[in-house]
A and B are shown apart, each in its own frame.
Chain A
């Protein structure tokens, strides 16, 4: 290939796959001298060489463990007893998980978290984005301030919220007590059965609302000004502009934020583990905590592999259905 005229596809295909398009982009970006010096190799080969490290890495740390976990899920293997004979027990693990009340409770707890965190984060995030989009004085400054929690490490966040929730010295408890008059010693955010789930919802909302806000803001910014101007001339009130222009046009973005947060919170682990460790009792025991207990406390490796696969299929399935809906909304 002597030259790559712009606009002329290197890999001709009526429906180029992502891989093809990536390779085409790679071929296009390859400086000509390089393509010429690597003699004997076709452009396609050169492209493959460039993406090979990534693909190998993906295979090694994603695909291979997944396949192995699937295989383990049909056995009674225990990682802490490597010398024991591994028996193939078919679908027994799956059967036990799907009929076990504890795992169902864990799933319900997870669903509960996902629902409330998404609801709060979407409402607050969108509201913040809507306000920031008014472009008032200093809006860039406030955007940065709002984004700070998102940039922190979850481990740090979990630890310092544990201090904030502290009944004796915690700032959060102090403030709540100041406004409600309830004694600080009665506000046991992390050990009260009723409050513990909310303590986690609050932290997750505090940390990830900015993320939702950012995506919503991108959505709001994508609505061109002249649409609003047309609506203004058409005598649509602010209220009507919001419901008939702002919300429908930002909806795909909001749904995208919900998707990301949903997948993320379905496997919420670090924050729960740091704040309550699943307690008190099992009130905040989300699926990922159950999974960790089964895998690394009880060492039921085969069983927990099966559980992980079930979770994976559930998230994957739900996400796929959701993406279909999202695409329909987008193409309206």
Chain B
């Protein structure tokens, strides 16, 4: 285990800058999640740390050692790829044992066997050790892939959307599992995803990437409650934050406000019988444990959460008030601390 530093790292593919001037420090034992849309440079960042790509500029330091120009093999990292990337002709056991059979550190067969058994139990694949890796379900394959990374004790674990191809139930299970394993082992982990729930639930810190740049990094709470700009605000929250032009609703917005961002907790919605109303209820989406309330306010659509046993009905006229929402200026940056 060790700490990792990226110092103004830049990587270009032809004309496009996949990662530009990226500065990132990951402390020993920290679980950092990089969150961003496709093409934001998340995967490239991981590959740069692993040594599968070489940066044009900047340096990468693992445990105090500059590894910028070193081969992947000597960097002491473990990588979980988005595609399962198992060795298809080998059994589950051989896949898990593969990283242990490195010539740099000779281990006895008994030692390997014990370690593989331990990890197989951890990722719950111990009942299928003798199976061919191609004869597994998607979830099993990905657990083997994660296990193959965990079998070693590298400086850092790098995981590239390891759960994205799994079904929702398994994803939720493995999310908890992964966090538990990481806490147990005290490992340093850099995790890439576009799933905000994974980021919110597992991360010690979340880094928001956009177009190759680190827009903001902080604890999940900070990122959620104090987003640096519109982009960050839009990435978190379900349903997505409502971005409304200033002045649409009566509010004491600070000077320079161009856009008001309002999530469910920033809105007070009340039914009115007669008199003034701000908007109407378009329809109600029943999700089971909760409802999505769709409103029209002026020429804008709003979506918020509401109770499953809500009293609102389609066509209801409502008043809408802000409750300490987020204010953004013309450049999209949030106003205020």
Residues of chain A whose beta carbon lies under 8 Å from any beta carbon of chain B: 224, 226-227, 229-237, 240, 244-245, 248-249, 332
Contact = CB atoms under 8 A, between A and B. Distances in A.
Contacts of A234: 78, 98-99, 102, 148
Contacts of B50: 233
Interface residues on chain B, size class: 20 to 34
A229 B83 contact: no
21 contacts: A226-B81, A226-B85, A227-B85, A229-B79, A230-B87, A231-B87, A231-B98, A232-B52, A232-B71, A233-B50, A233-B77, A233-B79, A234-B78, A234-B98, A235-B72, A235-B104, A236-B73, A236-B98, A244-B90, A245-B87, A248-B89
A234 B83 CA distance: 16
Given A224-B83, A230-B79, A230-B81, A236 B89 contact: no
B64 interface: no
A130 B22 CA distance: 37
Contact of B85 (A230, A237, A240, A249): A230
Contacts of B132: 332
Nearest to A248: B89
Interface of B: 50-52, 71-74, 77-79, 81, 83, 85, 87-90, 98-99, 101-104, 132, 148
Contacts of B51: 232-233
A85 B90 CA distance: 65
Contacts of B77: 233
B89 to A, nearest CB: 5
A250 B160 CA distance: 27
Contacts of A236: 73, 98, 102
Nearest to A226: B85
A245 B73 CA distance: 16
A226 B132 CA distance: 19
A224 B88 CA distance: 11
B23 to A, nearest CB: 24
A232 to B, nearest CB: 5
B83 A233 contact: no
B85 A235 contact: no
Instruction: Give the secondary structure class of A's interface.
Output: helix
**Most chain A C-beta atoms within 10 Å of own C-beta, residue among B81, B85, B104:** B85
A168 B211 CA distance: 71
Given A232-B72, A235-B102, A249 B88 contact: yes
Given A226-B81, A227-B88, A234-B99, 8 more contacts: A227-B85, A229-B85, A230-B81, A233-B51, A235-B73, A237-B73, A244-B90, A245-B87
A266 to B, nearest CB: 30
Contacts of B52: 229, 232-233
Which 6 A-B residue pairs are closest in the complex by CB-CB distance?
A: A234-B99, A235-B102, A235-B73, A233-B79, A230-B85, A232-B72
Contacts of A230: 79, 81, 85, 87, 148
A237 B103 contact: yes
A226 B81 CA distance: 8
A312 to B, nearest CB: 35
Nearest to B160: A226
A236 B81 CA distance: 17
A332 B83 contact: no
A244 B103 CA distance: 14
A103 to B, nearest CB: 42
Contacts of B99: 234-235
Contact of B89 (A235, A237, A249): A249
Nearest to B158: A233
A332 B132 CA distance: 7
Contacts of B85: 224, 226-227, 229-230
A235 B51 CA distance: 12
A234 B98 CA distance: 7
B166 to A, nearest CB: 18
Contacts of B79: 229-230, 233
Contacts of A229: 52, 72, 79, 81, 85
Contacts of B81: 226, 229-230
A233 B78 contact: yes
Given A236-B102, A332-B132, A227 B87 contact: yes
Contacts of A249: 88-89
A257 B308 CA distance: 65
A297 B196 CA distance: 83
A224 B86 CA distance: 11
